[in-house]
């Protein structure tokens, strides 16, 4: 078994390593998405909740790790367990000593649509605040953001959806140049929501209008999504540019960061592909883009996980048939 960690930022004091629980054996229901969750908090409640101090605490974060087999993490974590921890009740925690390598990750300075379409995503799951990355994607409602499934749902049958979900496009050093957007609906794949499958670690959130305008119209565009047939990697097999907000040192989550490289298969199996890019916690849900030029490209995958034995390689969830079906579901919410 190899230790696997999601690149999701949490307000913990010490990075932790957790032994994995057995994989969930219950089969997901027919259909590409588990039941979506409407965010019930009002705009006023969300504005009051996300104080500057809360945002800072979510940014000052650590990596959660899990043990995994072939593309599926342990499922059925008990209530109150942070997302991404494959825990059984009472499982011990051990310190994880990890020094990230950051030579290949640089601040993004290329301008273009990327500085408007990518942003920081903040959520609360089981009483803890989390920070991820997300991207505005094309949709009929002009209101859709794509991210990792584990940023919106803790995974497994006993998991739960996030609350207090907000998105800050163009987030930079604490500023919100395009506003702070409040989610209205969340949805993730059945593979993540029922089985914690990293082959389907993807999710979408729709966002309420702000000042009478929709998200996509305010940021001036959206990334197109490239889906595959599930048997080939498609454009994901070529050069990729990754964008996200890593927060564990040596990063601080205040700046959009980037790296580029050519993908390789996950040596432990599954449909996800790896890329030499040592982004840390907070990068979860960040965009993988092919054909990246003048600040835009086609969204091929989202940042999902890395192995503790090789933290300099991140893995992305590619967009096969189940994620295409999830997208079709999301645009109808």
CATH code for the domain in which residue 312 is found: 2.40.10.10
Spatial separation of the C-alpha atoms in residues 48 and 50, rounded to whole Å: 6
pLDDT tens digits for 93-115? 122 223 333 458 999 999 999 99
Q: Per the domain annotation, does 226 fall within a domain?
A: yes
Checking if the pLDDT of 64 tops 80, the result is no
pTM confidence score: 0.82
pLDDT bracket for residue 60 (50, 70, 90): very low
Give pLDDT, residue 333: 86
180 found inside a domain: yes
Q: Which of 263, 270, 221 is nearest to 239 (CA)?
A: 263
Domain range for residue 245? Answer: 2-20+36-87+105-330
pLDDT band at 92 (very low <50, low <70, confident <90, very high): very low
Domain membership of residue 181 (yes or no) is yes
Q: What are phi and psi of 12, to 5 degrees?
A: -80, 165
Percent of the chain whose predicted confidence (pLDDT) is above 70: 74
Measured CA to CA, the distance from residue 323 to residue 292 in angstroms comes to 22
Residue 331 has pLDDT above 50, yes or no: yes
pLDDT of residue 96: 25
- Of all residues in the chain, the percent with pLDDT exceeding 90 is 49
Is 99 inside any structural domain? no
DSSP state of 221: -
Q: Which of 20-34, 166-180, 216-230, 279-293 has the lowest mean pLDDT?
A: 20-34
| Cis preceding-peptide flag for 250 (omega within 30 of 0) | yes
**Lowest-confidence pick of 151-155, 210-214, 236-240, 281-285:** 236-240
211 burial (CB, 10 Å; 0-12 / 13-18 / 19+) is: exposed
Do the domain assignments include residue 96? no
Tally of structural domains, the chain: 1
């Amino acid at each position: 078994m190899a230790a696997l960690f999601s690149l999701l930022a949490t307000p913990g004091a010490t990075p932790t390593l957790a032994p994995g629980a057995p994989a969930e054996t219950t089969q997901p229901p027919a259909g590409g998405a588990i039941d979506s969750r409407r965010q019930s908090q009002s705009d006023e409640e969300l504005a009051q909740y996300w104080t500057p101090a809360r945002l800072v605490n979510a940014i000052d974060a650590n990596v959660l790790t899990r043990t995994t087999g072939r593309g599926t993490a342990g499922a059925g974590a008990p209530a109150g367990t942070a997302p991404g921890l494959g825990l059984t009740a009472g499982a011990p925690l051990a310190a994880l000593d990890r020094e990230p390598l950051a030579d290949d990750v640089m601040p993004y300075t290329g301008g273009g649509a990327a500085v408007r379409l990518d942003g920081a995503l903040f959520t609360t799951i089981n009483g803890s605040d989390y920070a991820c990355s997300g991207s505005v994607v094309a949709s009929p409602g002009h209101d859709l953001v794509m991210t990792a499934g584990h940023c919106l749902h803790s995974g497994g049958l006993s998991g739960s959806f996030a609350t207090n979900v907000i998105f800050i496009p163009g987030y930079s050093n604490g500023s919100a140049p395009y506003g702070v957007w409040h989610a209205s609906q969340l949805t993730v794949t059945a593979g993540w929501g029922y089985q914690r499958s990293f082959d389907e670690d993807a999710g979408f959130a729709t966002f309420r209008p702000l000042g009478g305008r929709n998200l996509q119209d305010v940021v001036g565009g959206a990334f197109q999504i490239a889906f595959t047939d599930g048997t080939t990697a498609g454009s994901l097999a070529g050069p990729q540019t990754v964008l996200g907000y890593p927060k564990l040192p040596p990063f601080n989550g205040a700046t959009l960061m980037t790296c580029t490289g050519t993908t390789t298969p996950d040596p432990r199996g599954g449909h996800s592909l790896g890329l030499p890019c040592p982004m840390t916690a907070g990068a979860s849900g960040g965009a993988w883009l092919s054909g990246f030029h003048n600040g835009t490209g086609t969204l091929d995958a989202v940042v999902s996980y890395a192995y503790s034995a090789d933290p300099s390689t991140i893995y992305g969830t590619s967009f096969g048939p189940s994620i295409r079906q999830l997208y079709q579901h999301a645009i109808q919410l």
